Structure formats: C-alpha cells, structure tokens
C-alpha cells in the first residue's frame, strides 16, 4: 500500500490587498508625522505646539488615507464589475467567438490547438464566465478589489505608524527632541520594511533599505523647510 504525502504550498498572493494598504498606511503614518514634528520643531515651536501639530496630523492623515483608499479601490471594483457584465453579455451573444478567444489564450500558453480547444470547451461547460474572467481579464477572488478592507487597513495602520513618533515626542526630552524623533523614526521605518518584506516573501535587506532611505529623505527635506521658514520668520 502506497502512502502519498500531501504536498503543501504556501503562497502569499492572498495578502497582496491588505498588505499593500497596511504597509502604505504605516509608512505614511511614520514619515508624515515624524516629518511634521521635525518641521514644526525646526521652525521653533514649543513642545505643546509640536504635540498638537502631530496629533492633528495623525487624525487628518488617518481619515485621508481611509477615504483615499476607499475611493481608489472602489473605482477598481467598479471597473471589474463593468468588465464582468460586458463579458457576460459577450458570452450570451457570441459564445462561439468567446470559445475561440479562450482557445487562443491556451494556445498562446503552450497547449496544442486540439487540447486548447478541448480545455476551453470543458471549462466553459463548467463555468464559462469564471473561465473568461480569470484567463482573459485576469480577475480572481484572491486579487479582487476590496474597498472597505483597504480603507480600514490603511486608516488603522496609519494611526499605528503615526502613534510611534508621537509617543517619542511625548517622552523625549525637549532639548534633543528632533534627534530622538528622527533616529527612532528611522528605526521604526527599518522594522516596517523588514516586516513587510518578510510577510510578502521578498528580500528583507532590500525592503528595509528602500523604506528607510525614502523616509529619511522625506524627513530631511521637511526639517530643512521648517528650519528655513523658522529662520525667515
């Protein structure tokens, strides 16, 4: 009696939607709030003013991220829905042409004409619309647009990311506030890049470097602008 070991594969494509929104939100939360704190501090504001500006930035940013993600992803969902309706109509009006189209797709992927014709026929008998949506349009349940999920993930991750430099702002000494916020924010960004790369199965060092570099650039530019306007004022 043969014993077959079940082959298990772990893919991460089901994480693409929420992972993208979460990483984007957390990265924006850390960078924008830290940049805001550094810019206001460089302009000469006191600790209370810096904290108020940071909290306001957290609230405004979280709401903006949620609204922006919902609108943009909902637009994608509307487009997908329209494509589904168009494909459904094409299958009703021109089934033979749609069968030929699906056959051509499988031939282009390497199947012989006879086998591609048979595969297309069998799949269309089982689920014609699903076959065309998946193989012709590239739309799947795994990668489909989820506006509410993206909006909530972005808002929550932005708030969490923004809370990190704000916490440093509260506890760091006023004398070295900018240094503390800048250094710890870079550390937070490095950890975020590493975690995101790990969750997505990408290179950890590359992900860490990319997130940290662009965050440092954004904070440096903002601090420079704040110092310039503070000096002018």
Contact 65, 23 (CB under 8 A): no
Residue 85's pLDDT is what? 82
Residue 200's pLDDT is what? 64
Contact 153, 25 (CB under 8 A): yes
Q: What is the block-wise mean pLDDT of the chain (233 residues), using blocks of 10 residues?
A: 50 53 81 87 83 90 86 80 81 84 85 86 80 73 67 87 91 86 90 77 77 84 73 42
What lies within 8 Å, CB to CB, of 137 at 6+ separation is 83, 87
- Sequence ranges of the domains in the chain: 48-171, 173-233
Contacts 24+ apart (CB under 8 A), 174-178: 174/47, 177/37, 177/41, 177/47, 177/50, 178/38, 178/41, 178/42, 178/223
């Amino acid at each position: 009696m043969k014993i077959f070991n079940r082959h298990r594969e772990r893919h991460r494509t089901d994480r693409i939607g929420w992972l993208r929104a979460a990483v984007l939100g957390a990265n924006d939360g850390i960078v924008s709030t830290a940049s805001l704190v550094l810019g206001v501090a460089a302009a000469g504001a006191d600790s209370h003013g810096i904290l108020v500006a940071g909290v306001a930035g957290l609230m405004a940013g979280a709401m903006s991220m949620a609204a922006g993600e919902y609108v943009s992803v909902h637009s994608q969902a509307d487009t997908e829905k329209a494509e589904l309706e168009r494909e459904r109509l094409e299958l009703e009006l021109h089934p033979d042409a749609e069968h030929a189209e699906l056959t051509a797709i499988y031939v282009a992927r390497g199947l012989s004409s006879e086998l591609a014709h048979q595969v297309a026929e069998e799949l269309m008998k089982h689920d014609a619309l699903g076959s065309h949506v998946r193989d012709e349009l590239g739309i799947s349940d795994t990668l489909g647009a989820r506006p509410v999920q993206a909006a909530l993930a972005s808002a929550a991750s932005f708030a969490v990311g923004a809370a990190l430099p704000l916490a440093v702002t509260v506890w760091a000494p006023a004398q070295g506030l900018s240094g503390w916020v800048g250094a710890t924010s870079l550390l937070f960004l490095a950890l975020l890049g590493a975690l995101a790369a790990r969750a997505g199965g990408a290179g950890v060092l590359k992900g860490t470097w990319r997130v940290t570099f662009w965050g440092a650039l954004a904070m440096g530019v903002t601090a420079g602008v704040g110092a310039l306007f503070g000096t002018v004022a």
